[in-house]
């Protein structure tokens, strides 16, 4: 029996370039394109399988890096496929059914070839339903907007990144197609008014589920500091049983320099090689904000991190 997603929608004024009209999901406050309303229940009822591997993160948290890691670890003898097979061909971005980040025409043609009478909405979810092998599923939606049964069905990996660096990376992304300042993006973060926001709602939804056997949490900063240790943790979680030499191959395959050089290792196939990734550094936001705004964000981070957990990584 289909579950009804327990939310309402608040229409927001104006339009945002690339996304159009926006809505705020209540409760939670997540801001999304208005097209989400049409597929909210379908996503909430999406049927996961026991061998699915899901990646649920906020945008610009190291998602693309982690996606390539997960795929490489489960395809250790086929990693060369990543040089010709684009990431969007290896993952199902279910959010594309409402954000249209990826060109929909190609997916529609693929779906019609498999199912001529297919509906013309929920294209990505329909393609995922038709997939016979193991599925890799990517979403930026918080846990409260996902199927409540997902952690009972399959493995989910989530990556968190310091909110200042996450904000700055989003700015580097947005400024390519929106006339917007860093200060405006920073204030949108603090007020929870950015696409897929707010930041702390995502984190709280993860932390509520901390300790569930099918949930693996990672921090971007830990990945940058010691990727081998993080790969060993993932190896245990995924049950991939890779040896140390194989893990080193994964680390090399997914290094910043290698991924930046490959046009196939980004989700959007229209992005030219070398242009998607910025610096991939910890502390990339340092010195970018005015002292007053920097202090305001510090206070916002400490106040909200304490509400998540007194020992949460970003309290200090």
pLDDT digits (tens, 9 = 90+) for 89-100: 999 999 999 997
Instruction: Work out the pLDDT band at 102, boundaries 50, 70, 90.
Output: confident
Between 37 and 198, the more confident residue is 37
Give the pLDDT score at 257: 87
> CA triplet 162, 57, 74: central angle to 5 degrees?
115
Beta strands in the chain (DSSP E): 8-16, 20-26, 31-33, 53-56, 92-93, 136-139, 155-160, 215-219
Q: By mean pLDDT, which of 100-114, 129-143, 292-306 is the weakest?
A: 100-114
DSSP label of 3: P
Instruction: Work out the pLDDT band at 1, boundaries 50, 70, 90.
Output: confident
Domain ranges of the chain: 48-308
Give the pLDDT score at 250: 98
Mean pLDDT of 178-194: 90
> CA triplet 95, 143, 149: central angle to 5 degrees?
100
Give the pLDDT score at 275: 46
- Short-list 89, 74, 88, 92, CA closest to 128: 92
Average pLDDT score, the chain:
92
Mean pLDDT of 68-89: 94
Give the pLDDT score at 316: 75
Answering whether pTM is above 0.85, one says yes
DSSP label of 119: -
Give the pLDDT score at 77: 96
Phi and psi at residue 236, in whole multiples of 5°? -70, -45
- Residues of the chain above pLDDT 90, percent: 76
Instruction: Work out the pLDDT band at 229, boundaries 50, 70, 90.
Output: very high
pLDDT digits (tens, 9 = 90+) for 111-142: 999 999 998 889 999 999 999 999 999 999 99
- Short-list 193, 224, 210, CA closest to 312: 210
For residues 147 and 154, give the distance between their C-alpha atoms in angstroms, rounded to a whole number. 11
Asked if the model's pLDDT at residue 279 lies above 70, the reply is no
Give domain 48-308's CATH number out of 3.40.50.300, 3.40.50.80, 3.40.190.10, 3.30.70.2740: 3.40.50.300
Instruction: Work out the pLDDT band at 278, boundaries 50, 70, 90.
Output: low
Instruction: Work out the pLDDT band at 14, boundaries 50, 70, 90.
Output: confident
- Specify which of 159-173, 228-242, 254-268 reaches the highest per-range mean pLDDT: 228-242
């Amino acid at each position: 029996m289909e579950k009804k997603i327990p939310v309402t929608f608040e229409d927001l004024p104006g339009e945002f370039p690339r996304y159009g009209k926006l809505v705020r999901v209540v409760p939670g406050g997540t801001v999304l394109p208005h097209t989400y309303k049409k597929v909210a229940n379908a996503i909430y009822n999406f049927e996961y399988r026991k061998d699915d591997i899901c990646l649920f993160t906020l945008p610009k948290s190291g998602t693309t890096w982690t996606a390539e890691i997960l795929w490489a670890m489960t395809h250790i003898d086929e990693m060369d496929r990543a040089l010709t097979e684009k990431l969007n061909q290896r993952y199902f971005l279910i959010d594309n059914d409402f954000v249209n980040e990826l060109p929909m025409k190609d997916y529609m043609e693929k779906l019609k070839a498999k199912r001529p009478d297919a509906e013309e909405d929920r294209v990505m979810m329909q393609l995922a339903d038709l997939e016979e092998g193991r599925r890799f599923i990517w979403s930026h939606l918080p846990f409260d907007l996902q199927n409540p049964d997902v952690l009972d069905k399959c493995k989910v990996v989530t990556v968190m990144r310091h909110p200042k660096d996450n904000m700055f990376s989003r700015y580097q992304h947005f400024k390519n197609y929106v006339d917007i300042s860093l200060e405006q993006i920073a204030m949108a973060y603090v007020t929870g008014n950015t696409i897929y926001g707010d930041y702390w709602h995502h984190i709280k939804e993860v932390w509520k589920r901390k300790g569930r056997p099918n949930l693996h949490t990672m921090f971007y900063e830990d990945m940058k500091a010691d990727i081998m240790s993080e790969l060993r943790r993932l190896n245990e979680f995924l049950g991939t049983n890779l040896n140390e030499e194989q893990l080193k191959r994964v680390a090399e395959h997914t290094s910043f320099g290698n991924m930046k050089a490959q046009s196939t290792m980004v989700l959007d196939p229209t992005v030219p090689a070398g242009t998607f990734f910025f610096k991939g550094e910890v502390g990339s936001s340092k010195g970018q904000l005015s002292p007053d705004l920097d202090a305001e964000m510090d206070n916002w981070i400490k106040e909200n991190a304490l509400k998540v957990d007194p020992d949460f990584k970003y309290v200090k």
